[in-house]
Structure 1
Amino acid sequence: MPAPLTDPGPPESGPFADLLAVLRDAAALKTAADVLAWDEQTYLPPRAGDFRADQLAALAGLTHDRLTGPELRDALQAAEGEDWPEDSAAAACLREARRDFDRRTTLPRRLVEELSRVTTLAQQNWAEARKRSDFAAFRPHLEAVVNLKREEAAAVASGRADLADAPAYDALLDDYEPAAKSDQVAAVFAELRAGLVPLVAAISDAGVTPDRSLLARNYAVADQKAFCRSGAEELGFRFDSGRLDTAAHPFCTTLGPADCRLTTRYNQNDFSQSYFGVLHEAGHGIYEQNLPDAWFGSPLGEACGLGVHESQSRLWENFVGRSRPYWEHAAPQARAAFPDALGEASAEALYRAVNDVRPTLIRVEADEVTYNLHVLLRFELEQPLISGDLPAGDVCDVWDERFEAMFGFRPPSAADGCLQDIHWAAGLIGYFPTYALGNVYAAMLWDAVRAENGELDEQLAAGNFTPLRDWLTEKIYRHGRRYAPTELIERAAGSPPTPAPLLAHLNAKYGALYGLN
């Protein structure tokens, strides 16, 4: 079980309790909208899309009113008037609640509703355009989303002194990675690129080709679903307060303190696509399920930025799920789940197959080494999209050119290129950098837990994930947004964020696999 916070839980009476009641009321309204958004991605009938956009827009407007209205303003001011120790949970909650309130009040209800309506329709169009690889059909939706996100960035910057002279993109990035600036992220990414490009080249020249063919066999979707569910459950995702469904793009969403939903997609000829998608989303879900329920609806019941959130999905997917000890445990289960396809495949063969390094078209299917290059590509496109230097209609051509320069080959279709991710259709511009930051944070956390737990490999090989999950709960999950992302990582890992541990991990692991050491 998660360790209790040092502070007592939230007070049950007084101005602070009144504030939490208002926040929880707004959270109930927001999560009702989230249920409809989840349904849109999983079960919505095709002809119901237009009305769903209207429903979500109406709920977005109502939620915005609750979160910017006089009731919350007055409750926040009253709670701020109480005397809270600076290092207390209540003081942290108030700091973050004020930050949220100030940001939201820069946005007019009209813009919030229009963003909800336009992105709902854009996601539906994206799903169809991706099936047909038809960027022209998606283009007007992308243009509409980008225009609205530019308006959002300008509105947020108008209310923030620290964003007044910053690139417009920073106002969007700040929503996902609080206080981050694009020039700081660019510096981290430049260090990553400098370390990754020669490693990719060395692996390519090594002449070692892992046998990935055992993944490219016939894997019945029904068997994949059972294996994926079992894998998520073993890591610690609780299905008594969660579920797993199918969607065009894997995601995790939380609809309440005991309701966390995962999705993945299936390829009958490669079980690893669905499996690692589920391990990734389960990492998000385990974080969500171990946030303190008592603080639900408030900042202390929410995850600490998307970079930290991605650190958890990437840690469970890669540092655990692609490790040799993990496959010592999982190989017998995989053979039992897919006896015809895997036969007597060894743990070592599976470990090497799932760690094959080669440039690929699709980000979510990329290996650990090349993955961050996919993120860098998107980061480099998003900034000119928001500044206006890159017209939305030119994204497909520019994507293909940049991809070819970075990976050495050109996407054969828009579905394999700029239409592969749902993020821009959903209005999540500024989200992509957090994937690479998550890898940076995950490597630091992995080094820290290994330094404290000398038996971690043996535990993973035995299928015992509880010690790792408890460590992460103690260091990350239970704190919610009590600390800023960089402070939380420094407290857990012992040093400020740096790409060095990630590059060291990749060089050591893949140097051994490809005979480079």
Structure 2
Amino acid sequence: MGTVNGSYKRLIKLVRETGILHSVAELLEWDQEVCMPAGGNAHRAEQMALLAGMVHEKITAPEIGELLAECEQAGFPAGGREEANVREIGRRYRKKTCLPVELVRELARVTANAHPVWVQARSSRDFSLFRPHLERIVALKREQAAAVGYESSPYDPLLDDYEPGETAGHLAGLFDGLAPALASLLSGIREAPRKPDSTLVRRRYPAEAQRKLGIEVSRAIGFDYERGRVDTVVHPFCLTVGPGDVRITTRYNERFFNEAFFGFMHETGHGLYEQGLVAEDFGLPAGESVSLGIHESQSRLWENAIGRGKPFWKFFFPRLAAAFPDALAGVSLDDWLLAINEVKPSFIRVEADEITYNLHIILRFQIERALIEGDLDVADLPDAWNGKFSEMFGLEVPDDSQGVLQDVHWSAGLFGYFPTYCLGNICAAQFFAAAREQIPGLESGLEAGEFAPLLEWLREKIHRRGMLLMPRELVRDVTGKELSVDCLLSYLAEKFGNLYGI
């Protein structure tokens, strides 16, 4: 066992080094989004490509394979951190050794150059500017899928990068059960007797007051600003540079309250997960989030189940009214709750309500799966998008910026990423249902501004466990149930039934 322990320690040292290199790339990405001048794009693309190549070469080095073989042959106790590290390092090694380093570098280079073109195309509302870049990205992602290999769909190995163990077929089954139920609920809300006053969230909310309030609420629910910070960007995100450096971002709209406040809640949810990981395991699977779907469940739980729920606002509404006395004079708590939970089909995913958001994701899943499987050409993408959107939402897309160009993901090559958002909603509802059962007095505590019990429950059940379990195993372990859309549909029906009187 001594030899195996030595092999394991050497393996962990090498993998930690790749984690540190990856954190350097994260810092460069943050800089590009937050403060880099436009003139730096070309050089940044070269920096990112070089780092991507270095990480790939280190993680696929023959020595890694030799050390893995020794560790896998010896074995470690099931359910432990060592076993999780070896299992996940091995899974990644086998996937990445299938990829030529030049393909990895080319993907990094092409996507870095595509980003500013996507920004320009979206601003110009002209897909044709972005089309050649996306064609190249899709071709490279197909090449990646072919190199890794797959049983049923070339989309599966891309999805597996973000949601280990997930497949297009399983997702399609989940979404096929979700979409009709959402459409039925949406139809009932359209006919509901109660209607929200949408002007309440579109009064004037000064940006500086929004910033202070966002920091207040993120700190209240547990974000540690000694180990984190917040900045302003066009497209909000959360990013980790190191175990003591978690960065969230947001944007402000003085005529739309929801954008910054719930953006703060959302990104704080991501940040809490990152700050809850075991610092000593940074750079290792045992110190990483288990999947993007589980990560999204944390942001969605805090943003929606808590941040758009009545118990939270019983506590926080007086603070809100004090921060914006002109905008909220004479506004009742019930009117406010209905306004922030308005259900209305819209073009933009990030502005969508809790019900239609999932339809936005299902649309993107169907389209990007068709692109990767070769059933849809990039040239036909706008027409395919607009047609599906009209079917699902009953709206005609006015231009590309409000349609196919609205999201950054495809410019970054993130095929397989979108479904994790809907998985996040599904898991969030299942986790929240379990929390309500397992935490005594949870809702009365939320009404009193006591968020620590919920955060500690999430820390114990999810955050500190890193990748000790695979995503569906974790859901089963925490909730006692298989992954299902049932809790999400029950949550939405109860919540919006009460709000809209249906």
Query: How would you bin the TM-score normalised by the shorter chain?
Result: over 0.9
- 1:476 positional shift: 0.6
- 1:81 positional shift: 4.6
Aligned AA (1:155): A
CA RMSD across the alignment:
1.6
1:478-498 alpha-carbon deviations (Å, 9 max, x no partner): 111110100000000011111
Partner of 1:156: 148
Quick check: 1:123 aligned with 2:153? no
1:140-170 alpha-carbon deviations (Å, 9 max, x no partner): 221111111111111111xxxxx2x311111
Give the conservation status (yes or no) of the 8 Å contact 2:427–2:475.
Answer: yes
Residue 7 (structure 2) aligned to one of 11, 15, 31: 15
Q: 1:222 & 1:128 partners in 2: Cα distance?
A: 28
Partner of 1:307: 293
Within 5 Å, which residues of 2 pair with 1:20-419? 20-157=12-149, 163=150, 165-419=151-405
Q: 1:132 & 1:443 partners in 2: Cα distance?
A: 38
Partner of 1:6: none
Structure 1 segments of 4+ aligned residues over 4 angstroms from their partners: none
Give the conservation status (yes or no) of the 8 Å contact 1:56–1:116.
Answer: yes
Give the conservation status (yes or no) of the 8 Å contact 1:277–1:364.
Answer: no
Give the conservation status (yes or no) of the 8 Å contact 2:278–2:287.
Answer: yes
Q: 1:408 & 1:299 partners in 2: Cα distance?
A: 43
Aligned AA (2:353): D
- 1:305 positional shift: 0.9
Aligned AA (2:389): F
1:381-411 alpha-carbon deviations (Å, 9 max, x no partner): 0111111221112212211111111101112
Q: 1:35 & 1:344 partners in 2: Cα distance?
A: 45
Partner of 1:8: none
Q: 2:117 & 2:448 partners in 1: Cα distance?
A: 45
Q: 2:276 & 2:68 partners in 1: Cα distance?
A: 26
Aligned AA (1:76): L
1:434-474 alpha-carbon deviations (Å, 9 max, x no partner): 11111111111111110112411111111111000011111
Q: 2:193 & 2:330 partners in 1: Cα distance?
A: 26
Give the conservation status (yes or no) of the 8 Å contact 1:328–1:461.
Answer: yes
- 1:327 positional shift: 0.9
Partner of 1:470: 456
Q: TM-score, normalised by structure 1?
A: 0.94
Aligned AA (1:87): G
1:99-132 alpha-carbon deviations (Å, 9 max, x no partner): 0111111111101111111111112222222222
Aligned AA (1:113): R
In structure 2, the gaps of 5 or more residues are none
Quick check: 1:511 aligned with 2:493? no
Q: 1:346 & 1:71 partners in 2: Cα distance?
A: 65
Q: 1:124 & 1:197 partners in 2: Cα distance?
A: 36
Could you say what secondary structure the match of 1:14 adopts?
helix
Aligned AA (1:147): A
Aligned AA (1:265): R
Q: 1:388 & 1:104 partners in 2: Cα distance?
A: 23
Identity of aligned residues (%): 45
Q: 1:339 & 1:271 partners in 2: Cα distance?
A: 14
Within 5 Å, which residues of 2 pair with 1:389-468? 389-468=375-454
Q: TM-score, normalised by structure 2?
A: 0.97
Q: 1:515 & 1:207 partners in 2: Cα distance?
A: 7
Could you say what secondary structure the match of 1:368 adopts?
coil
Give the conservation status (yes or no) of the 8 Å contact 1:130–1:420.
Answer: yes
1:231-256 alpha-carbon deviations (Å, 9 max, x no partner): 21111111111111122211111111
1:317-361 alpha-carbon deviations (Å, 9 max, x no partner): 100000001111121221222222223433322211111111111
Give the conservation status (yes or no) of the 8 Å contact 1:322–1:351.
Answer: yes
Pairs aligned (count): 500
- 1:213 positional shift: 0.8
Give the conservation status (yes or no) of the 8 Å contact 2:193–2:501.
Answer: no
Could you say what secondary structure the match of 1:239 adopts?
coil
Q: 1:342 & 1:283 partners in 2: Cα distance?
A: 26
- 1:70 positional shift: 2.4
Q: 2:34 & 2:485 partners in 1: Cα distance?
A: 36
Could you say what secondary structure the match of 2:15 adopts?
helix
Aligned AA (1:127): V
Partner of 1:3: none
- 1:83 positional shift: 4.6
In structure 1, the gaps of 5 or more residues are 1-11, 158-162
Q: 1:257 & 1:71 partners in 2: Cα distance?
A: 27
Give the conservation status (yes or no) of the 8 Å contact 1:22–1:71.
Answer: no
Give the conservation status (yes or no) of the 8 Å contact 1:327–1:348.
Answer: no
